[in-house]
């Protein structure tokens, strides 16, 4: 019995696309959360009389929580299951959003943002794995592309909602809306979200056979027996522990370190582009309105780029497509910042930059689960995202310091492009689905 191979080879069913859609919804919450904070920053800064540095710390609090959530919570999913960890994380995000709305001081708001970030970090690591495991091999790239596009959709809707509510209802209403939406998603997940088949086969909790067969029935696959499941090899205890140290064991170290470098460099470039582009364009001589328009073009391109990566990766090798996206991202970043004298050209290239850098995120989300066996997949994904979040935190801070040190926008963009190119180098040396396979996986295949 090899259920993983069976799901990989079969056509996608409506049930599988429903699971992917649930994961897209959860990624939308991440985008909503980030942009809601960005749009309310001015109002809450005025309300709490914050300085620029204090506001910066408050804006970073959610990112810090996301990094900690990915690193600390994701390994738990390999022990208790993907579904329970997702439900716990969505619950944390709901509580964090509602606490943010009620925070009487900036300090308590910052703590609430950390709680929200913890939940979002746990959500991202586990939902990416669920989407990957329920997609067939052919459509996995598209499924993850759609999943990644959820961020841009949520960011757009979050921004529109925030702008509509700020004038009449105040900044707290934005977090109330986010908390209610996240709570509604939790109810939906309780009813519809299944457990990972790979997890059930590896860990075999109570009623594993019944739960597996219930899922297989929805997928249109024949049922398995308890005897067949019992005869299926499992990974060794060392690999089933959920211990992050396993990621640096002899057989995984090379792949893990390369994945971490790729995530760190790509997230660095992604958050630099999305955080600093409007301000740097103003510094380069554009009007504030034109700079905001360029920022919107980046977001628009980002949503399309995630799906574009999925479409291309469904026909070609996912890793090679990702390398191409990464190299092109670095090149177009340089072209973009040197073309600001021609606004129309810069806006068009801005769409391309947004599409390519978001496609890189989709690509990393696609290839990383294939590096690790099912028994440590959430741990591997969570730590990769957590390491990437470190790049996300460092990028805006480092850019600000360099700008204060008289770096020009062109210098900053070229520097960020070099960092993104480092990701391409790491991906060249990465061999997905080979080094990180456990012996039982290989024997079963």
Residue 118 CB contacts under 8 Å (≥ 6 apart), including other chains: 65, 66, 68, 69, 72, 73, 89, 92, 96
pLDDT, residue 366, reads: 85
Nearest CA to 382 among 67, 119, 65, 148?
67
Instruction: Give the pLDDT mean for 89-101.
Output: 93
- Chosen domain end from 232, 259, 277: 232
Confidence category of residue 138, pLDDT binned at 50, 70, 90: confident
pLDDT (mean) for 302-310? 82
Regarding whether 131 and 26 lie in a shared domain, the answer is: yes
Do 246 and 224 belong together in one domain?
no
Mean pLDDT of 93-103: 92
Query: What's the average model confidence in pLDDT over 217-223?
Result: 82
Residue range of the domain that includes 181: 1-232
By three-state DSSP, how is residue 328 classified? helix
In terms of average pLDDT, the best of 38-47, 115-124, 395-404, 433-442 is 115-124
Categorize the per-residue pLDDT at 17 as very low, low, confident or very high, splitting at 50, 70 and 90. very high
pLDDT given at position 443: 39
Q: Does residue 114 sit in the same domain as residue 246?
A: no
Residue 232 has pLDDT above 70, yes or no: no
For residues 186 and 43, state if they share a domain: yes
| Least-confidence region, from 28-32, 76-80, 321-325, 432-436 | 432-436
Q: In this predicted structure, which of 9-13, 75-79, 396-400, 405-409 has the lowest mean pLDDT? A: 396-400
User: Which residue has better confidence, 408 or 431?
Assistant: 408
Residues 41 and 25 in one domain: yes
Instruction: Clarify whether residues 223 and 264 are in a common domain.
Output: no
Q: State residue 286's pLDDT score.
A: 66
Chain mean position to CA 246 = 22
Query: 235: pLDDT confidence band, cut at 50, 70 and 90?
Result: low
Q: What pLDDT is stored for residue 237 in this prediction?
A: 44
Q: Are residues 204 and 332 in the same domain?
A: no
DSSP structure string for 98-123: HHHHH-SSHHHHHHHHHHHHHHHHHH
Q: Could you give the CA distance from residue 175 to residue 32 in angstroms, rounded to a whole number?
A: 10
Q: Is 205 in the same domain as 272?
A: no
Q: What's the CATH code of the domain at 144? A: 1.20.1250.20
Judge whether residue 196 has pLDDT over 90.
no
Q: Which of 121-135, 143-157, 315-329, 337-351 has the highest mean pLDDT?
A: 315-329
Q: What is the pLDDT of residue 437?
A: 43
Q: Are residues 227 and 246 in the same domain?
A: no
Q: Same structural domain for residues 141 and 185?
A: yes
Residue 439 pLDDT > 70:
no
Give the pLDDT confidence score for residue 288 in this predicted structure: 56
**Residue 367: closest CA among 292, 299, 404, 316:** 316
Q: Which DSSP helix (H) or strand (E) runs through 134?
A: helix 106-134
* DSSP for residue 436: T
Tell whether the model's pLDDT for residue 219 goes beyond 80.
Answer: yes
Mean pLDDT of 414-431: 92
Q: What average pLDDT does the segment 193-221 reach?
A: 83
**What pLDDT, on the 0 to 100 scale, is given for residue 284?**
65
- Domain termination residue (choose one: 232, 264, 288): 232
With cut-offs at 50, 70 and 90, classify the pLDDT of residue 427: very high
Question: Integer distance in angstroms from the first to the last C-alpha of the chain?
Answer: 10
pLDDT averaged over the chain?
81
What is the Cα–Cα distance from 377 to 134, expressed in whole angstroms?
14
The reply to whether 258 and 226 lie within a common domain is no
* Number of domains the chain is built from: 2
How far apart, in whole angstroms, are the C-alpha atoms of residue 38 and residue 212? Answer: 43
pLDDT(290) > 70: no
Give the end of a domain, one of 232, 253, 286.
232
For residue 104, report the phi and psi dihedrals to the nearest 5 degrees.
-85, -15
Rounded to an integer, the average pLDDT of 325-330 is: 94
Average pLDDT over residues 15-28: 91
Return the number of other C-beta atoms located less than 10 Å from residue 308's C-beta.
21
Give 366-404 pLDDT, tens digit per residue.
888 888 877 788 788 888 988 988 888 888 778 777 877
Same domain, 182 and 260: no
Please tell me the distance from the alpha carbon of residue 334 to that of residue 339, in angstroms, as a whole number. 9
pLDDT at 89: 92
């Amino acid at each position: 019995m090899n259920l993983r191979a069976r799901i990989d080879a079969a056509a996608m069913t409506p049930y599988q696309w429903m699971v992917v859609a649930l994961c897209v919804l959860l990624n939308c919450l991440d985008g909503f959360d980030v942009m809601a904070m960005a749009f309310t920053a001015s109002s809450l800064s005025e309300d709490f009389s914050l300085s620029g540095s204090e506001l910066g710390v408050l804006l970073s609090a959610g990112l810090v929580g996301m990094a900690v959530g990915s690193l600390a919570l994701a390994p738990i999913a390999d022990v208790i299951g993907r579904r329970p960890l997702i439900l716990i994380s969505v619950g944390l995000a709901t509580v964090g959003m509602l606490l943010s709305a009620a925070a009487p001081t900036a300090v308590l708001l910052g703590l609430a943002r950390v709680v929200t970030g913890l939940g979002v970090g746990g959500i991202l690591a586990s939902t990416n794995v669920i989407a990957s495991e329920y997609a067939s091999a052919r459509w996995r790239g598209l499924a993850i592309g759609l999943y990644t596009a959820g961020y841009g959709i949520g960011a757009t809707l979050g921004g529109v909602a925030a702008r509509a509510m700020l004038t009449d209802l105040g900044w707290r209403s934005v977090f109330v809306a986010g908390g209610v939406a996240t709570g509604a998603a939790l109810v939906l997940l309780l009813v519809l979200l299944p457990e990972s088949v790979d997890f059930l086969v590896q860990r075999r909790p109570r009623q594993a056979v019944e739960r597996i067969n219930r899922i297989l029935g929805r997928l249109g696959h024949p049922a398995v027996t308890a005897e067949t499941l019992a005869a299926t090899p499992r990974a060794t205890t060392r690999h089933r522990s959920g211990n992050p140290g396993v990621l640096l064991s002899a057989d995984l170290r090379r792949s893990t370190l390369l994945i971490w470098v790729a995530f760190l460099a790509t997230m660095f470039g992604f958050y630099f582009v999305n955080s600093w582009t409007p301000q740097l364009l103003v510094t380069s001589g554009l009007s504030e309105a034109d700079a905001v328009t360029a920022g919107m073009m980046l977001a628009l391109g980002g949503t399309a780029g995630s799906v574009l990566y999925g479409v291309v990766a469904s026909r070609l090798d996912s890793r090679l497509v990702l390398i191409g996206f990464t190299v092109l991202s670095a090149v177009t970043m340089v072209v973009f910042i040197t073309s600001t004298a021609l606004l129309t050209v810069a806006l068009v290239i801005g769409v391309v930059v947004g599409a390519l850098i978001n496609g890189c995120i989709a690509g990393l989300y696609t290839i990383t689960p294939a590096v690790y066996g099912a028994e440590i997949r959430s741990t591997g994904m969570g730590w990769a995202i957590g390491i990437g979040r470190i790049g996300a935190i460092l990028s805006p801070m480092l850019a600000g310091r360099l700008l204060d040190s008289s770096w020009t926008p062109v210098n900053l963009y070229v520097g960020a492009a070099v960092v993104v190119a480092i990701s391409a180098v790491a991906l060249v040396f990465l061999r997905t689905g080979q080094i990180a396979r456990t012996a039982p996986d290989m024997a079963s295949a």
